[in-house]
Amino acid sequence: MTNSKFQPELIVNADDFGLTPDTNRAVDELAGLGTISSTSVMANMSYAMDSAELADKHPRFGIGLHLNFTAGRPLTAGKSFIGEDGNFLLFNDLVRNTLRGQINHHEITREIEAQISRLQSFIGGRRIEHWNSHQGIHRYEPFYSAALAVCKAHDIHAMRGHRHYFVQPSTPFEARPPKLQRDGVRRIGTEIYYNIMTLRARRHFLLAKGLLTGKDVATLELLHWVADLGVPTPVAVWEIPCHPAISDAGLTEKERKIQREQEYRFFRSPAWLDSIASGHVRLTRFSSLSKD
């Protein structure tokens, strides 16, 4: 999928809007600067209502849904995915129960419906442009089938893809699919599964060409490569998910492991601002995706 005949483009999507006030403030500021493309909202979280102001202030900034089954409390009474404290199960526990067939499909569907409805109530007439999920839980069944059906029914335009393309800081700067001899059997097996998921998704949603990554490379280092070398070829729309926050206040120990503050500072840095202003890096959003 491409949207430019001459230059590859990039979606930089900030996940976890609604998680903490400082996450929301970071996204709001960066949306105003035009240095990220969009955000994904955790509609069940206490600070998700800030998306109403975000939608009003930044009409050209993309807003999507960050489906959440692993943080905070659900909006519905889905017994199969909550613990004794009423919160969602931790990720590893949820995945284990999923693989055992202990998660109720109808409860998942109701929770997704509720999260979509809550986000739509905040952003009013704005369309929910895209969807993805917190910690990638939709990669497991029955979450994937339920999410595809419900998000399609609500006419959500696009979703995050699953295929990974690897880059390294070299000239030419190219995004390449994984190879057996370079990336190993496990990675190839994972990508085969992601390719199958992508084929299902493309029936109903628009997707970027793939997710950019580097082997054993954090998002921050990858972004520095892009600022220096531009968006990699071939000509396509690529996505880099990110997690900027002004501070780590209110985050769990696990959530602090992501370089949130550093990402926030990077998106305000002269190097990134200059890359955007000069056209060296061309940002786009999910609403601009089109079919081949």
Cα–Cα distance, 180 to 116 (Å, whole number): 39
- Which pLDDT does position 215 carry in this prediction? 85
Whether residue 11 has pLDDT greater than 70: yes
Cα–Cα distance, 106 to 111 (Å, whole number): 9
Evaluate whether residue 3 is within a structural domain. no
Evaluate whether residue 32 is within a structural domain. yes
- Which pLDDT does position 292 carry in this prediction? 61
pTM for this prediction: 0.95
Strand, coil or helix: what is 129?
coil
Q: What is the mean pLDDT of the chain?
A: 95
List pLDDT tens digits, range 180-222. 667 788 889 999 999 999 999 999 999 999 999 998 899 999 9
On the CB side of 204, CA atoms within 13 Å amount to 19
| Pairwise pLDDT comparison (125 vs 2), residue with the higher score | 125
| Pairwise pLDDT comparison (43 vs 292), residue with the higher score | 43
Token pair, residue 234, equals 């071939």
Phi/psi at 241 (5° precision): -75, 145
Q: Where are the beta strands (DSSP E) in the chain?
A: 9-17, 38-41, 62-67, 130-133, 158-159, 164-166, 210-213, 237-242
Supply angle C-alpha 201, 202, 205, rounded to 5: 80
Evaluate whether residue 1 is within a structural domain. no
On the CB side of 188, CA atoms within 13 Å amount to 7
Scan for tokens 């009003």, then name that residue. Answer: 56
- Written as one string, the DSSP assignment of 77-91 is --GGGB-TTSSBPPH
Cα–Cα distance, 191 to 198 (Å, whole number): 10
Alpha-carbon radius of gyration of the chain: 18
Cα–Cα distance, 28 to 57 (Å, whole number): 9
Total number of domains constituting the chain: 1
- Which pLDDT does position 1 carry in this prediction? 42
Whether residue 64 has pLDDT greater than 90: yes
- In terms of phi and psi (left: phi > 0; alpha: psi -120 to 50; beta: otherwise), the region of 128 is beta
Evaluate whether residue 94 is within a structural domain. yes
Q: Which of 108-112, 114-118, 211-215 has the lowest mean pLDDT?
A: 211-215
Nearest residue to 131 via CA among 165, 104, 106, 155: 155
Average pLDDT over residues 63-83: 97
Evaluate whether residue 193 is within a structural domain. yes
Whether residue 3 has pLDDT greater than 80: no
Residue 162 sits in a domain whose CATH number is: 3.20.20.370
**H-helix or E-strand spanning residue 44:** none
Evaluate whether residue 124 is within a structural domain. yes
Q: Which of 165-179, 217-231, 260-274 has the lowest mean pLDDT?
A: 165-179
Domain that holds residue 214: 9-288
Cα–Cα distance, 180 to 195 (Å, whole number): 15
Cα–Cα distance, 173 to 166 (Å, whole number): 10
CB 267 within 8 A of CB 33: yes
- Which pLDDT does position 34 carry in this prediction? 98
Evaluate whether residue 2 is within a structural domain. no
